[in-house]
Chain A
Amino acid sequence: MPEQYKLILKHADEPGYTPDLGCYLRHGGYEALKKAFATSPRALADGKSLSPQEVVRDDVKASGLRGRGGAGFSAGLKWSFVDRRSGKPIYLICNADESEPGTFKDRQIMHKDPHQLIEGMIISCWANDVKLAYIYIRGEMPHGAKLLEQALAEARNAGFLGKNILGTGYNLEIYVHRGAGAYICGEETGLIESLEGKRAYPRIKPPYFPAVLGLYMCPTIVNNVETLCHVKHIVTMGAGEYAKLGTPNNTGTRIVSLSGDVKQPGYYEIEVGKVTLGQLIHDANFGGGLKPGRSLKAVIPGGSSSKVLKAGEVFKLNRKGADGQMTKVDVPMLDLPYDFDSLQAAGTMSGSSAIIVLDDSRSMVETLANLSEFYAHESCGQCTPCREGALWLAKGLHRLSHGEGRKADAEYLSHIAQNIQGRTICAFGEAAAWPVLSFIKKFKDEFEAKGAADEAAHAKGAGPSHELKLAASPNQH
């Protein structure tokens, strides 16, 4: 039976482990930073050599580390895009705006082991010639913000931050910046706008790739909390050893947030791809199965924006056979290895690695109505298709889930969603559209039956109630 593999959360939940510097140092804290500072230049085959900073950057690329925030993009590649010739300062921002519904992993790190994040950040900043960095933490985590500020002060006093860090001549400041309740700040260019003191309207790419034109129009790296922690472990273990964790192209460990209809919701750190979706839901080491008497209906596999998976679905995935040839193999949904590539091959994504489980007691109409209300509330309002469309979706689903539906609503809602995706500045458009498109595609019968039942009920009770009326607008700020 697969087990957790605790790399990032190795100490966090140990009895007596506290978030202060003393405890962190007793557990080998800041040794990775010292090791990074002591990195030797590396000679290359062509006679050139890599500086110590370049060696660490190269190792992060070689480790295969992929971003843990949602997109799963290679962290090393992201760093390699940074414009180092502009003469402008380079900034690093830790994206701690953990807001994707279902996700609660970064919360664990920041509240229980803040120095691990800070050490990962200092190494990442040093490797990228960053002198000023920010932790953008969501506004609803005031306690986390205080803990991080405390930890930063401790690190400053101990000489891990500030001027001439550990006598190396390297200067770095890290500050905590609090968001104020807007989901869109998790989108990196929206986050940058917010950090500049503006509304978090995402920027259009091109030209505003953060690596070139980020914070204050300077090259900027934006990395997730968990991603930055992994950098520490890549330095400690070496890229080669780190890459042995997980599976090819899906290296390392990942903290999975599991919630919804399972017996043991919680966060579980696994080697990426070494545990299947079914094991995460059913095994005693993880979710522990569904509640008594219930059967599985659907799984939202990577945060609320990911496309839903239906119980019993079977996917055709490429698998390397014993002869080294790739063949198409049938893989049932629950046998999908929980990693970036398998979920993508199944038409969805592992996103922020947040699994929400739905059992047979749940109405897909109401579930989707709940999610769509979230997106209607959180659309930043910059792009018309998203601002108007997300609200239409929420209103339509509110109507359908409150007895005012029509059979045609399934088509109607899909049509709106199709006209949002691909027509917005940022990926929020897709995030709002994908749940709707996937829920209705995979559970169309349920949506149509609900609409038809509403129509039939209205037909019986003749009179004006047969006419459609828009239900009250959903919760709007």
Chain B
Amino acid sequence: MSFAVSAQLEARLDELTTHYPVKRSASLMFLHALQEEFGHISPEAVEWTAKKLGLQPINVYELVTFYPMFRQEPLGKTHVKVCRTLSCALAGSASIRDHFCKKLGLDPHAHTPQTTPDGKFTVEFVECLAACGTAPVVLVNENLHEQVTTAKADAILAGGK
């Protein structure tokens, strides 16, 4: 698959670089935008970003490997991030994650993000999502779901089919 950034996206990114006195600062915002557009950060996206910002590809690649939100592999259309950290764990987030995994035929004991073969869902355990008062919480793409029960989890799955 060839890597092509649309003129529209490129214009948006060019505007973003004007927010910073030093272009390199725009790296994270570039990677967010490219990941939103292409679903993951490919080596081509790394090289493209480096070229745009006057950097070496390693300067960009080391961000992709450092920041947990960036992915080098394509993800499912619906990305389910279940909070693993203490307040959510106390409220049963492990069983919510297990429920997602079992319903989708994924391994509930796997530690890394898992994607269903049809590419529809990715389930991941993530660290604190800063919504501990309404634990357990699940971030589905950009939407936060609070006080998630197995019934709510089923509704999330139904929405992503």
Min C-beta distance of B51 to chain A, whole Å:
14
**A104 in contact with B32 given A140-B139, A260-B90 (CB within 8 Å):** no
Expressed in whole angstroms, the Cα–Cα distance for A138 and B70 within the complex equals 13
Partner of A181, one of B67, B86, B133: B67
* Distance A471 CA – B107 CA, assembled complex (angstroms): 18
Q: Report A133-159 CB contacts with B as 1/0, cut-off 8 Å.
A: 000001111110000000000000000
**In the bound complex, CA of A142 to CA of B134 (Å):** 18
Q: CB distance A104 to B132 under 8 Å?
A: yes
The residues of B that contact A356 with a CB separation of less than 8 Å are: 86-87, 90, 132
Question: Which residues of B have CB within 8 Å of A367?
Answer: 86
Q: Which of B3-21 contact A (CB under 8 A)?
A: 19-21
Q: How far does the alpha carbon of A300 sit from the alpha carbon of B86 in the complex, in Å?
A: 11
A378 touches B62 (CB 8 A): no
The digit string for B130-161, where 1 denotes a CB below 8 A from any CB of A, is 11111100010011100000000000000000
Checking B63, B85, B90, B132 against A261 with a beta-carbon cut-off of 8 angstroms, the contacting residue is B90
> A475, B62: Cβ atoms under 8 Å?
no
Residues of B contacting A304 in the complex (Cβ-Cβ under 8 angstroms): 85-86, 128
The residue in chain B whose Cβ has the minimal distance to the Cβ of A262 is: B133
With the chains together, A103 CA to B28 CA distance in Å?
24
Find chain B residues with CB under 8 A from A106 CB.
130
Decide: B21 and A265 in contact? CB cutoff 8 A.
no
The 0/1 profile, CB within 8 Å of A marked 1, for residues 75-100 of chain B is: 00000010011110110000000000
Given contacts A104-B132, A259-B87, contact A143 B69 (CB under 8 A): no
Minimal Cβ-Cβ distance residue in B for A105: B130
Name which of A27-35, A94-102, A313-321, A461-469 contacts chain B. Answer: A94-102
The verdict on B106 contacting chain A, using a C-beta distance below 8 Å, is no
A177 adjacent to chain B (CB < 8 Å): yes
A197 & B24 in contact (Cβ 8 Å cutoff):
yes
A103 touches B130 (CB 8 A): yes
**Contact A102 to B126, CB < 8 A, known contacts A182-B68, A259-B133:** no
| A101 near B133: Cβ-Cβ < 8 Å | no
Q: Does A246 contact B (CB under 8 A)?
A: no
Q: Interface with B: A10-18, A58-66, A369-377, A404-412, which one?
A: A369-377
- CB-CB under 8 A from B127, the residues of chain A are 99, 101, 181, 183, 374, 377-378
Docked CA distance A300–B81 (Å) = 25
Across the interface, do A475 and B69 meet the contact criterion of CB distance under 8 Å?
no
Whether A140 touches B32, Cβ cut-off 8 Å, given contacts A180-B67, A182-B66, is no
Chain A residues whose CB sits within 8 angstroms of the CB of B90 once the complex forms: 259-261, 356, 358, 362
Does B125 touch A at the CB level, under 8 Å? Answer: yes
B20 to chain A, nearest CB (A): 8
The answer, yes or no, to whether A199 is at the interface (CB within 8 Å) is yes
Chain B residue nearest in CB terms to A134: B19
Is the pair A180, B87 in contact by a Cβ cutoff of 8 Å? no
CB distance from B18 to the nearest CB of A (A): 9
Q: Does A200 contact B (CB under 8 A)?
A: yes
Residue among B22, B24, B25, B133 with most chain A CB within 10 A? B133
Contacts of A103 in B (CB 8 A): 130, 132
Which among A132, A141, A199 is the interface contact of B130 at CB below 8 angstroms? A141
Question: Closest Cβ of chain B: how far from A220's Cβ, in Å?
Answer: 13
Closest to A268 in B: B133
Q: How far is the CA of A295 from the CA of B26 in the complex (A)?
A: 50
Residue of B nearest to A111 (CB): B144
Q: Indicate if B104 sits at the interface (CB-CB under 8 A).
A: no
Contact present for A107 and B28 (CB under 8 Å): no
Interface readout for B27-63 with A: 1 if CB under 8 Å, 0 if not? 1110110000000000000000000010100010011
Smallest Cβ-Cβ distance to B90: which chain A residue:
A260
Q: With a CB–CB cut-off of 8 A, which chain B residues contact A474?
A: 111
Chain B residue numbers with a CB within 8 Å of A199 are 62-63, 66
Q: Counting CB contacts under 8 A, is A41 at the interface?
A: no
CB-CB < 8 A to B68: which residues of A? 180-182, 477
Give chain B residues whose Cβ lies under 8 Å from the Cβ of A102: 86-87, 128, 132
How many angstroms from the CA of A304 to the CA of B55 in the assembled complex?
A: 37
Min CB–CB distance B44 → chain A (angstroms): 19
With the chains together, A179 CA to B19 CA distance in Å?
Answer: 15
Do A140 and B126 form a contact, CB below 8 Å, given A104-B133, A179-B28, A265-B135? yes
B residues in contact with A195, CB < 8 Å: 25
On chain B, the residues within 8 Å of A257 by CB distance are: 132-133
Identify 11 new A-B residue pairs, CB closer than 8 A, beyond the known A101-B132, A140-B69, A141-B130.
A102-B128, A140-B129, A178-B32, A179-B28, A182-B66, A194-B28, A196-B22, A197-B28, A199-B62, A362-B90, A475-B111
| For the complex of A and B, 3 pairs with smallest distance between CB atoms | A180-B67, A181-B68, A259-B132
Q: List 30 A-B contacts (CB under 8 A).
A: A100-B128, A101-B86, A102-B132, A104-B133, A132-B21, A139-B32, A139-B69, A140-B139, A173-B19, A175-B20, A179-B28, A180-B28, A181-B67, A194-B28, A195-B25, A196-B22, A196-B25, A197-B22, A197-B55, A200-B66, A216-B21, A260-B90, A304-B85, A356-B90, A356-B132, A370-B85, A370-B89, A371-B86, A374-B127, A475-B111
